[in-house]
């Protein structure tokens, strides 16, 4: 039964902040795709519908007491792990990657679901295991397996970007739980060795992305085209921008994927450094608010849930922004609430719902 007292503790300010970023994203999407001549429904309108679905998801998640997730965590983890395995048998392949499973005509991407599931599973494990001196290397084996198995399956699809995000989310949660200094040093050295050896396991297109990141001008009309055009768009915005719907890189179709991966490039060109700083301030607020919820949580499970969701938002933002300005390789990671994508919107809103759920129930005993 839903306790009506929870409504009085619902964080409307946080929800309005989420809506503000989403509306800015839809307006940016309208500008980015205004030159498209198409008979199908415009993408900005589709994103508006996805936003509506996302708000419904937030409401449903808030009704459900997050503490029940503690008992459902490992069954959810096992079920989603099974979906990741089934992808290789019955998955749908698109553009060289097998990432989707179709159920009754609806395409489901288990790797996106795993971002939420891994947060729940690790929150359950870390809340049960408390070490005053931090986790030793030996004690990290089980959480490492919980994190590593799905990451390897996602990488096999191949989806390097999502796999790295899953690892970053889990790694951030583990750092908050506490890791001994010797374990951090050992893992750091092992990570560098694995990164060097992993080069030979990458697909050719993944190697090209890394080489292009190091030197985009080596193939300016091919693999380096995206990042070169993106940096031109960001730089041409200057301090105050060129104005709404007046960006040359987007309006003249020089900038590819301008409604998805490079949506921020369109925004930077039109609104300049001033607009970018405002958008980044809004993103900083939602992340800091998430950490504030974690610190004020009544229980360790809720605290780790809030940390995990905050980490998910943080790493999405860092990777996407680093990608569009040339600080990171292009790995196809969307900007939360801003880039077009139904799966991304629903996943993000599920995380937002969990955050608000934890915040609401800190008043309940």
- What are the pLDDT digits (tens) for 265-292? 999 999 999 999 999 999 999 999 999 9
Return the higher-pLDDT residue of 238 and 213: 238
What percentage of the chain exceeds 70 in pLDDT? 92
Residue 241 exposure: Cα atoms within 13 Å on the Cβ side: 20
Judge whether 140 lies within some domain. Answer: no
pLDDT exceeds cutoff 90 at 114: yes
Question: According to the model, what pLDDT value does residue 360 have?
Answer: 87
Instruction: Give the tokens for residue 132.
Output: 């005053």
**Local confidence band at 358 (pLDDT 50, 70, 90 cut-offs):** very high
Question: According to the model, what pLDDT value does residue 4 have?
Answer: 66
The domain in which residue 350 lies consists of 5-63+203-363
Judge whether 86 lies within some domain. Answer: no
Q: What is the pLDDT of residues 26-46, one digit of tens each?
A: 999 999 888 776 656 788 899
User: Mean pLDDT throughout 71-93?
Assistant: 89
Question: According to the model, what pLDDT value does residue 337 have?
Answer: 92
User: Mean pLDDT throughout 98-105?
Assistant: 76
Question: According to the model, what pLDDT value does residue 37 have?
Answer: 63
pLDDT exceeds cutoff 70 at 146: yes
Question: According to the model, what pLDDT value does residue 36 have?
Answer: 74
The sign one gets for the Cα dihedral 120, 125, 127, 133 is negative
User: Mean pLDDT throughout 217-238?
Assistant: 81
The pLDDT mean for the chain works out to 86
> Is 162 within 8 Å of 128 (Cβ atoms)?
no
* Residues 6+ away with beta carbon under 8 Å from 300: 126, 127, 130
What percentage of the chain exceeds 90 in pLDDT? 45
Question: According to the model, what pLDDT value does residue 28 have?
Answer: 93
Question: According to the model, what pLDDT value does residue 5 have?
Answer: 66
Judge whether 83 lies within some domain. Answer: no
Judge whether 212 lies within some domain. Answer: yes
**Of the candidates 241, 359, 356, which has an alpha carbon nearest to the alpha carbon of residue 295?**
359
Q: Which spans in the chain are helix H? A: 5-8, 12-32, 43-63, 69-90, 110-128, 141-155, 160-177, 181-198, 204-214, 225-236, 248-251, 263-295, 300-324, 342-360
Comparing 78-92, 115-129, 174-188, 198-212, the range with the smallest average pLDDT is: 198-212
Q: Which one of 97-106, 117-126, 131-140, 219-228 scores highest in mean pLDDT?
A: 117-126
Question: According to the model, what pLDDT value does residue 287 have?
Answer: 95
User: Mean pLDDT throughout 359-363?
Assistant: 79
Distance CA 351, CA 345 (A): 10
**Local confidence band at 2 (pLDDT 50, 70, 90 cut-offs):** low
Number of domains making up the chain: 1
Judge whether 101 lies within some domain. Answer: no
Judge whether 326 lies within some domain. Answer: yes
Q: What is the pTM of this model?
A: 0.91
**Of the candidates 81, 119, 113, which has an alpha carbon nearest to the alpha carbon of residue 347?**
113
Q: Which one of 7-11, 53-57, 213-217 scores highest in mean pLDDT?
A: 53-57
Judge whether 249 lies within some domain. Answer: yes
User: Mean pLDDT throughout 295-309?
Assistant: 93
Comparing 38-42, 187-191, 241-245, the range with the smallest average pLDDT is: 38-42
Comparing 16-30, 208-222, 258-272, 316-330, the range with the smallest average pLDDT is: 208-222
**Local confidence band at 95 (pLDDT 50, 70, 90 cut-offs):** low
Return the higher-pLDDT residue of 351 and 218: 351
Question: According to the model, what pLDDT value does residue 314 have?
Answer: 96
Judge whether 283 lies within some domain. Answer: yes
User: Mean pLDDT throughout 39-58?
Assistant: 88
Question: According to the model, what pLDDT value does residue 135 have?
Answer: 87
> Is 11 within 8 Å of 356 (Cβ atoms)?
yes
């Amino acid at each position: 039964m839903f306790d009506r007292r929870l409504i009085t503790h619902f964080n409307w300010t946080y929800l309005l902040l989420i809506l503000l970023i989403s509306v800015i994203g839809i307006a940016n999407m309208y500008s980015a795709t205004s030159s498209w001549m198409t008979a199908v429904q415009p993408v900005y309108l589709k994103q508006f519908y996805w936003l509506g679905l996302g708000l419904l998801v937030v409401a449903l998640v808030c009704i459900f007491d997050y503490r029940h997730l503690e008992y459902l965590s490992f069954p959810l983890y096992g079920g989603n792990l099974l979906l990741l395995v089934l992808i290789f048998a019955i998955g749908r392949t698109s553009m060289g990657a097998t990432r989707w499973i179709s159920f009754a005509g609806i395409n489901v991407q288990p790797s996106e679901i795993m971002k939420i599931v891994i947060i729940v599973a690790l929150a359950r494990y870390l809340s049960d295991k408390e070490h005053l001196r931090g986790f030793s290397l030996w004690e990290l084996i089980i959480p490492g397996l919980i994190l590593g198995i799905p990451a390897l399956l996602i990488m096999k699809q191949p989806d390097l970007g999502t796999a790295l995000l899953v690892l970053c989310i889990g790694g951030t949660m583990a750092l908050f739980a506490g890791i001994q200094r010797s374990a951090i040093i050992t893992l750091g050295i092992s990570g560098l060795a694995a990164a060097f050896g992993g080069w030979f396991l990458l697909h050719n297109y993944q190697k090209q992305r890394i080489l292009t990141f190091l030197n985009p001008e080596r193939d300016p009309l091919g693999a380096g085209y995206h990042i070169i055009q993106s940096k031109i768009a960001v730089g041409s915005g200057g301090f105050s921008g060129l104005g709404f719907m007046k960006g040359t890189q987007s309006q003249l179709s020089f900038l590819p994927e301008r409604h998805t991966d490079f949506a921020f490039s369109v925004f930077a060109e039109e609104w300049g450094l001033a607009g970018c700083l405002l958008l980044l301030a809004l993103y900083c607020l939602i992340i800091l608010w998430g950490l504030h919820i974690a610190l004020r949580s009544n229980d360790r499970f809720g605290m780790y849930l809030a940390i995990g969701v905050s980490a998910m938002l943080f790493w999405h933002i860092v990777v996407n922004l680093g990608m569009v300005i040339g600080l990171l390789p292009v790995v196809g990671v969307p900007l939360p609430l801003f880039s077009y994508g139904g799966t991304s919107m629903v996943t993000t809103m599920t995380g937002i719902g969990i955050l608000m759920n934890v915040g609401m129930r800190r008043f309940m005993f």
